[in-house]
Amino acid sequence: MTTTNTQTEQLTQAGQQIEHDSFAIVDREVGSHAYTEGQWQVVRRMIHATADFEFNGLTEFSEQAVEAGIAAILAGAPIVADVEMICVGLSHPRLAHFGIRAHEFIADEDVIAAAKQVNSTRAVQAMRKAHRLGLLAGGIVAVGNAPTALLEVLRLIETEGVKPALIVGMPVGFVSAAESKDYLSQLDGVPWLITRGRKGGSTLVVAAIHALLSQAETLQTDGNR
């Protein structure tokens, strides 16, 4: 498999070959799906990251979600994550290529103090801090663990008019995880990408964003020819 991408590929030919062979296996074994080419690149990388073919079907996109994510990346939009694990998992060189920074505030002292004072979660207060810093408007919101983070972003959209460029909503778990994603899927005016039900997690969010980064580089390279 050949590619024009240089920034969003594995760093060695051996690594590239393994990844490309893995994608070929997923393509061969997945069976039928109803995703567009851009959507499938996201879902395929999620399956590759987890070896779980159930994400063919569990993953849903709002209209133009992939295109909105690519546009945000090309514009250098910030990424606001609910937990540090997402920021650690994202490739820093790939983000730097687009001038993107990933942010998380869950362990900040002021966030912890605010959560204790009003008896909320750190995830809620972290998203409020991101909003105060002006990072949510026009940014990519990446939620892989905390349903309360996603619910808070939705509250900010509804009550304060915040408009992220894209919400990658994949909180994992048993309390409010499925419900928060169902709520997000009813949202109009803000593009979203979700996994239905209890399944989710940081690994999936990172995979989805890496797939968008790859597509952004392809578009960027083609546009520079």
What does the angle CA 144 – CA 59 – CA 90 come to, to the nearest 5 degrees?
Answer: 40
Band (pLDDT 50/70/90 cuts) for residue 50 is very high
Of the residues 20, 48, 97, 103, which is catalytic? Answer: 48
What does the angle CA 162 – CA 164 – CA 165 come to, to the nearest 5 degrees?
Answer: 150
Query: What local confidence, expressed as pLDDT, does residue 1 receive?
Result: 37
Query: What local confidence, expressed as pLDDT, does residue 5 receive?
Result: 81
**33 among known catalytic residues:** no
Q: What is the mean pLDDT of residues 84-102?
A: 97
**pLDDT tens profile 3-18:** 568 787 776 777 788 8
Phi, psi at residue 169, to the nearest 5°?
-105, 100
- Determine whether 114 is exposed, middle or buried from the number of CB atoms within 10 Å of its CB (0-12, 13-18, 19+): middle
Instruction: Look at residues 94, 105, 129, 107 and name the one whose alpha carbon lies nearest to residue 7.
Output: 94
Q: What is the mean pLDDT of residues 64-72?
A: 97
Band (pLDDT 50/70/90 cuts) for residue 2 is very low
Report percent pLDDT > 90 for the chain: 84
The whole model's pTM is what?
A: 0.93
In this structure, of 26-35, 93-102, 116-125, 198-207, the range with the lowest mean pLDDT score is: 26-35
Question: Can you list the domains of the chain with their CATH numbers?
Answer: 58-223 (3.40.50.10230)
**pLDDT tens profile 172-182:** 999 999 999 99
Report percent pLDDT > 70 for the chain: 96
**pLDDT tens profile 108-140:** 999 999 999 999 999 999 999 999 999 999 999
Q: What is the mean pLDDT of residues 34-51?
A: 96
**pLDDT tens profile 134-163:** 999 999 999 999 999 999 999 999 999 999
Tell me the average pLDDT of the chain: 94
